Structure 1
Amino acid sequence: MNSRLSTWIILGLTLTFLIGPFLIIIAAALSAGNNLAFPPQGLSLKWFIKVFEVESFRASFGVSIFLAIFGTLAALVLGVPAAYAMTRYRVPGAETVKLIVSSPIIVPGIIVGLALLQYLVIPLGVGIGPALFLAHTALILPYAVRVVSASMENLRVDMEEAALLLGCNRFGAFRRIVLPNIRGGVLAAFILGFVTSFNQVPVSLFLSGPGLRTLPIDMIAYMEINYDPSVAALSALLAFMSVGIVFAAERFIGLSRYV
């Protein structure tokens, strides 16, 4: 009995540690007061309404959506062929290639952002928009390669070989046999990349500039001037969006099988 009680206590403390900050943010967002505080000063939905009235939030949300969608698509265009090559061929130095591809995950985002700013944006005069796009694509690429590789390793090779024996060329076999069978992994990689890009802070912090900021960076800049609960309301909405996307992905494609 004591063992079962201890288990429930540990589980409760763990859930409190994980979910507690999220609940505090929701409570602060529902405050009727004019300052960000907990516990809330009354209850009101006015700060959720204000989120949609702030022009900078709308503009930066569009930037984040663009980077998340097209940066992930670009990473998949590069990552799917790379995953195919590493799982179907004996690539010289394959382990080194995997390490290089994984470097954006291993290296802290602050270092990646500073390096891109110092050696790409400043000396080459690359604009803020292209720099952000390249940075987000590079950050998502490792997830695309890893998730798609895991999906391809579970695909029987003889299915592709049968298509080749029946006269299909390599690209045709990939398009007709391989790609339809790994579409779950590709979709899982897209969802993971989208969420990762949308919530990216360290790299975007170095590469954002006047007139072009991602939503997380715009939220930080907003809090430097205003300290009202609208940022908490926006944080709650973004958390609900991310959780909803992940739950939907788990429900329809089994996201946990790929990550």
Structure 2
Amino acid sequence: MTRRLLSPFVLFLVLVFLIGPFVIIVAASLSGGETLAFPPQGLSLRWVAKVFTIDSFRSSFAMSMMLAIGGTLFALILGVPAAYALSRYKLPFGETIRTIVSAPVIVPGIIVGLAILRYLVVPFAFSVTVALFFAHTALVLPYAVRVVSASLDNLRADIEEAAVLLGSSRPGAFFRVVLPNIRGGVLAAFILGFVTSFNQVPVSLFLSGPGVQTLPINMLGYMETTYDPSVAALSALLAFLSVGIVFLAERFLGFSRYV
């Protein structure tokens, strides 16, 4: 009897640990007080409304969106051919190449940010925006390669070969046969990369500069001078956005099959 009750209790503790911070942030964002507090001091939506009136939030949100969309698209442009080569050809040191491609995920983000700053930004005097774009692309690229590779591994190679035998060129077979059949994996890779890039903090912390900041970095700077619940409100909105994107991806793409 005790053993039967132990597993549900542990599951309950895990859910509290995972969902508890989200509940606290949402409750704090609805506070009617002047400072960030939990339990909330009354209930009000004025801090949610204030989020949309702060210029720095709007500009940094636009920057984060540009980096997330642009960096993820560029990562897919590089990652889809790389995944195809790793999946379809017996390359020498193929597993080693896969490990190297995964390096930005394995290595802590602080090290990646410092390396890009020291060996890319400083020597070549790249602008902050360009540096952030390259950094976010590098961070998203492993997800693009891994997720698309999983889709290609589940697609029979003889389908492509049949298209070639019927007269299609190799590029034509890829665009007409392979790519349509792995579009779910490509979309899943885009969504995973977008969410990862948009919420990135350690790398962006090293590469952000005056007037050019991503939204998470701007939120950190805002909290250094202001301690009202608007940051909690923005955090809650971003959390709902991320959960909504992942929910829709799971609903229409079967997101869990690829990650």
TM-score for both structures, normalised by structure 1: 0.99
Structure 2 unpaired stretches of 5+ = none
Letter in 1 for 2:105: I
Match of 1:257 in 2: 257
What do residues 97-156 of structure 1 show as CA deviations (whole Å, max 9, x unaligned)?
111101000110000001111111111101001100000000000000000000000101
> C-alpha distance in 1, partners of 2:153/2:95?
16
Tell me the amino acid that sits aligned with residue 114 of structure 2.
L
Q: Which residue of 2 aligns with 1:47?
A: 47
What letter corresponds to residue 107 of structure 1 in structure 2? Answer: V
Is residue 2:196 matched to residue 1:196? yes
d(CA) in 1 for partners of 2:82, 2:139: 15
For residue 27 of structure 1, give the secondary structure of its aligned residue in structure 2.
helix
Show structure 1 runs of 4+ deviating over 4 A. none
Any residues of structure 2 matched to 1:148-227 within 5 Å, and which? 148-227=148-227
Give the superposition deviation at 1:95. Answer: 1.6
- Alignment: residue pair count: 259
Which residue of 2 is the match for residue 81 of structure 1? 81
- Matched residues in 2 for 1:136 and 1:11: separation? 35
Where does 1:104-183 land on structure 2 (aligned, <5 Å)?
104-183=104-183
Counterpart amino acid of residue 131 in structure 1: A
| TM-score, length of structure 2 as denominator length | 0.99
Give the counterpart letter for 2:156 in structure 1: R
Which AA in structure 2 matches 1:183?
Answer: R
| Residue of structure 1 in register with 2:9 after alignment | 9
Secondary structure of the corresponding residue to residue 90 of structure 1: coil
Q: How does 1:230-245 map to 2 (within 5 A)?
A: 230-245=230-245
Deviation of 1:4 after TM superposition, in Å, equals 2.8
| 1:5, distance to aligned residue in structure 2 (A) | 2.2
Partners of 2:5 and 2:112 in 1: how far apart? 46
Instruction: Give % identity.
Output: 71
SS in 2 for 1:228: coil
Q: Secondary structure at the match of 1:138?
A: helix
Structure 1: tracts of 5 or more residues without a match: none
What SS class does the counterpart of residue 102 from structure 2 fall into? Answer: helix
Query: How much has 1:96 moved relative to structure 2?
Result: 1.8
Structure 1 range deviating more: 8-17 or 126-135: 8-17
Aligned CA RMSD, in angstroms, stands at 0.7
Q: 2-side partners of 1:192 and 1:129: how far apart?
A: 22
